[in-house]
Chain A
Amino acid sequence: MGTVGYVVIAIAIIVVLVALFTISFVAYVKTPAPAGCEAGKGPNCENCEVVSCRFYASAEERERKKRQEANSGEKGN
């Protein structure tokens, strides 16, 4: 097997793995979460500080909205 063969095998392995990952990724994202476990809900999320978590952004967003509402309420009064 020459150099070309090795390169072909290497690229094939990568392509297969990427395809596998993509399929499982899309399958995972497309599956709806069970009731009561939607993003950013549940007791597990309250004290978590992992910034790289994809639920963290939504939790932050919620926090900001809450604060905004509180501010606007104060102004209204």
Chain B
Amino acid sequence: MDQKPSKLRVFLDPLFKANPLFVMVLGTCPALAVTTSFESAIGMGILFTFVIFFSNLIISLLRKIIPDEIRTPCYIVVIATFVTVVKLLSSTFLPELYSSLGVFVSLLVVNCIVLGRAEAFASQNTVVDSMLDGLGNGVGYTWAIAAIALVREVLGAGTLTFGKVFTFIPKVTLPILSGYTGSDFSLAMPLFKSSAGGFLVLGFALAIIAAINNYKDKKAKEKARAERAAAAKGGNN
């Protein structure tokens, strides 16, 4: 068993090094379903952060009371309670967001990340650590789905809606076709907004991350080899 990680590490690790979506590849269902628009992805991220923060908090508070044998039922009840709270709150205060997320608010109950963090972290760590872990995972997941939504919305619709509409791909006039159906042609690719586009964007994102990691590993290995060679040389002298 290695030594206990510091509070800062507990919070920062899920942001990049152990990102729930990009590194652990968990919670892919909402990551693909709600990322057609940037706004709903951010909204989903906030709701997700709320649920994982409070479920981690309660589960770590109760970790000594819950008998080991029935811990899964207890976790499910705690998580489902907070999902219901989130559902009621968002349908009252953010009705637009609630209707755009649809059934995926309810599906937070079966989100692998929430249950996984409850089982793997909150059931064994202190309250403060669990809260930080929940917050870190929430923020890490939020930026991950926001990044995917950014790519999908900008490429798929040509615009980015966040409060107001920013246009990235302007409508163009094509001289050859203008007499044909009108003068405004969008160069956006609706494929990225369709269901197939989600898979493709996430697949390429994971491939890019794997490529970066491979490159880093290679560099580290080369460095270690060079150091070993230098040490051997020193030893000979």
Contact = CB atoms under 8 A, between A and B. Distances in A.
Interface in A1-53: 14, 18, 21-22, 25-26, 29, 51-52
B102 to A, nearest CB: 24
Q: Is the interface of B mostly helix, strand, loop or mixed?
A: helix
Contacts of A21: 73, 76
A52 B116 CA distance: 7
Nearest to A17: B77
B70 interface: yes
Contact of A52 (B69, B70, B112): B112
Interface residues on A, range: under 10
Interface in B56-106: 69-70, 72-73, 76-77
Given A52-B112, A52-B115, A52-B116, A22 B70 contact: yes
A29 B115 CA distance: 19
Contacts of B24: 51
Q: When A and B form their complex, which 5 residue pairs have the shortest distance between CB atoms, in order from nearest?
A: A21-B73, A22-B70, A52-B112, A22-B73, A25-B73
Interface of A: 14, 18, 21-22, 25-26, 29, 51-52
Interface of B: 24, 26, 69-70, 72-73, 76-77, 112, 115-116
22 contacts: A14-B77, A18-B73, A18-B77, A21-B73, A21-B76, A22-B70, A22-B73, A25-B69, A25-B70, A25-B72, A25-B73, A26-B69, A26-B70, A29-B69, A51-B24, A51-B26, A51-B112, A51-B116, A52-B26, A52-B112, A52-B115, A52-B116
